[in-house]
Structure 1
Amino acid sequence: MTVIVIYHNPDCGTSRNTLALIRNSGIEPHVVEYLKTPPSRALLVEMIDQAGLTPRELLREKGTPYAQLGLGDDALTDDALIDAMVMYPILINRPLVVTPIGVKLCRPSEAVLDILPDAQRGAFAKEDGEQVIDAAGQRVI
């Protein structure tokens, strides 16, 4: 059985679309609402590393205490940025998806297609109506 984990915010359209794309491949992922159940510092560091990101690349600015905390300061170390994300999980950009193929920050949501082990099972359109997968299960470019 394929285990996929999505670090999800149900209030985020990109996160909802990513979750729906995972389900469209026939897999019911383990959904972690990371604002309620944030990853440990060690797990966060591991996912950042596996995704090939820097902590700064995972930082979310919009709708967060980013500015108030002065996180735009380039002098801040990776450890300081990770500490901020652990203290304020809203600073973690979403959705992060973990599959046997890899870890990816899925922005835009169709980025998840690069790490899903199973093909799409049918047509899929995002919440805004943008067609992403056609009736044959193929990605629309």
Structure 2
Amino acid sequence: MKSLTILLYFTLLFLGYGCNKKTTFTKIKVENPKINLGKIGTTDSVELQYKIVNVGSIDLKIDSVISTCDCIISKWDKNYINPNDTAKIFVVLKPKTTDSGIITKTIMFSANTKETFNALNVVYVANNE
């Protein structure tokens, strides 16, 4: 059900952007879009941050940040980022006790970039011991 809700959210958001006749995009650079944590325990809590740099000529607007799992809590420090300025997306990862092996989680954020949805990843090896 949660997957359906997320799919519906992105579909509606995409349609909203698609209906806008004059859309202006900016460009971004994500410092380290894929973070590899190595081995972590399933009872650990890990705090991460992703830096998003607006390398375009207009303000970057981050509309939302969501993840593929309820084991991730995310927030961001700014909705509007001036050109050449940086925003941070903060993530707290609390692995599930049922996680096993190599795990990849995805955090998506929507913004006024050419690709409306931008992906960030965190990879870890779940240690159940």
Measured against the shorter chain, the TM-score band is under 0.3
**Bigger proportion of residues as helix:** 1
**Bigger proportion of residues as strand:** 2
